[in-house]
Amino acid sequence: MVLTRAWRNGSAAERDFPVHRVSELVAEDDSFVWVDYTDPQPSDLEHVEEELGIHALAVEDAVERGQRPKLDRYRDSLFLVVYDVAGLDDAGDLVTHEVKAFVTKRALVTIHGADVDTGAVERRLDASADIADHGVPWLVWGLLDAVTDHATSTVEDIERRIDELEDDLFEHGTPREKQIQRRSFRLRKALGVLRRQVVPTRDSVASLLHGDAETISDGIRPYFRDVEDHLVSIADSVDQLRDAVSSVLDTNLNLASNRQNTVMKKVTSWAAIIAIPTAITGFFGQNLKFPGEGQWSGLYTSLVLIVASSFALYGVFKKKDWL
């Protein structure tokens, strides 16, 4: 599926026109187009290659999945790869979608799967129509700004989940070490994906700002700087949140170890208390003559010793907070 839009003199002119008209429209003064492909076939991109003169290597990268985030410069075009973050799914795994774009002087061609919603980009463009006279850089900014906003929302969601984890660490009741550990590992994995697939876009935007795309005029540079600032903030947040997750994991292990030590102290204390009556009854059960043998006084003496010694040990362990 392919969607097309065209602007002329900073105003929306046409939409849903055939791809073969792209070369005709971009040949007009003050005109630029956006061609949006959803799951295109290699034959579909051949039309774009012919219409806009896209480099064959860029077209080859566009049909291959799993490209790293990057900005490649060719003689007459740029090839941009970014990842749109859809957030965390029910299992806590991060969902991302690959988006590729050819950028020429008068055209933006985006390529993505069916899971990507370009509505967010269109809404941004419609809301900022007053700067549409900047042409293709305006379209590129709309794409990058939408991707960055989605990543920012996801980072905020992860931060909220980490706060919940920290609260659960000291929650009273049944310990949930395994559940906390599982959630922590999933969050750390999600942050790792963000670091690999989203943070490098910061370098692509910086490259655009510092000369890779001379078509970015001074009027729209502040918008790209705003995107760059958000991406820098995302990168810093990802590093801080990874440290926070590691801290949660370490704290969870320490708390589990402390609980285990407490249990061991209780078991050891009760074992010591139980050892007292065992030792006393063993002593009075020996096959030798001793004071009180065969008499009630011997029984009473052993019982008093057992009770007194047990309570004495219980008091000592209770005072030391072992019980």
How far apart (Å, rounded) are the C-alpha atoms in residues 297 and 293? 8
Give the model confidence (pLDDT) of 225-269 as tens digits.
Answer: 999 999 999 999 999 998 888 888 777 777 777 677 777 877 787
Chain centroid to CA 295: how far?
77
To 10 degrees, the CA torsion angle through 10, 12, 18, 24?
-30
How far apart (Å, rounded) are the C-alpha atoms in residues 196 and 179? 26
Q: What is the pLDDT at residue 215?
A: 57
Residues 220 and 138 sit within 8 Å (Cβ to Cβ): yes
End-to-end CA distance of the chain: 70
Q: What is the pLDDT at residue 287?
A: 59
Q: What is the pLDDT at residue 144?
A: 94
Give the model confidence (pLDDT) of 181-224 as tens digits.
Answer: 888 888 999 999 999 999 899 988 988 887 655 556 667 888 99
Q: What is the pLDDT at residue 286?
A: 61
Q: Edge-to-edge strand order for the sheet containing 94-103?
A: 11-15, 2-8, 31-38, 107-112, 94-103, 78-88, 70-73
Question: What are the residue ranges of CATH 3.30.460.20 in the chain?
Answer: 2-256
Q: Which residues of the chain have pLDDT under 50?
A: 174
Q: What is the pLDDT at residue 150?
A: 93
Q: Which of 207, 203, 184 is nearest to 195 (CA)?
A: 203
Residues 208 and 224 sit within 8 Å (Cβ to Cβ): yes
How far apart (Å, rounded) are the C-alpha atoms in residues 257 and 237? 30
At residue 293, what is the residue type? E
Scan for tokens 């003559």, then name that residue: 289
Q: Does domain 2-256 correspond to CATH entry 3.30.460.20? A: yes
How far apart (Å, rounded) are the C-alpha atoms in residues 80 and 68? 10
Q: What is the pLDDT at residue 284?
A: 66
Residues paired with 70 in a beta bridge: 81
Which ranges of the chain does DSSP label H, i.e. alpha helix?
A: 22-26, 42-52, 56-62, 119-127, 136-169, 177-197, 201-207, 221-284, 296-319
Q: What is the pLDDT at residue 81?
A: 93
Q: What is the pLDDT at residue 231?
A: 94
Q: What is the pLDDT at residue 227?
A: 93
- Provide the 3-class DSSP secondary structure of residue 29: coil
**Exposed, middle or buried by CB within 10 Å (0-12, 13-18, 19+), for 13?**
middle
Kindly report the number of other CB atoms within 10 A of residue 7's CB atom. Answer: 25
Q: Which of 129, 100, 108, 128 is nearest to 39 (CA)?
A: 100
**DSSP per position, 196-241:** HHTTTHHHHHHHIIIII-TT--TTTHHHHHHHHHHHHHHHHHHHHH
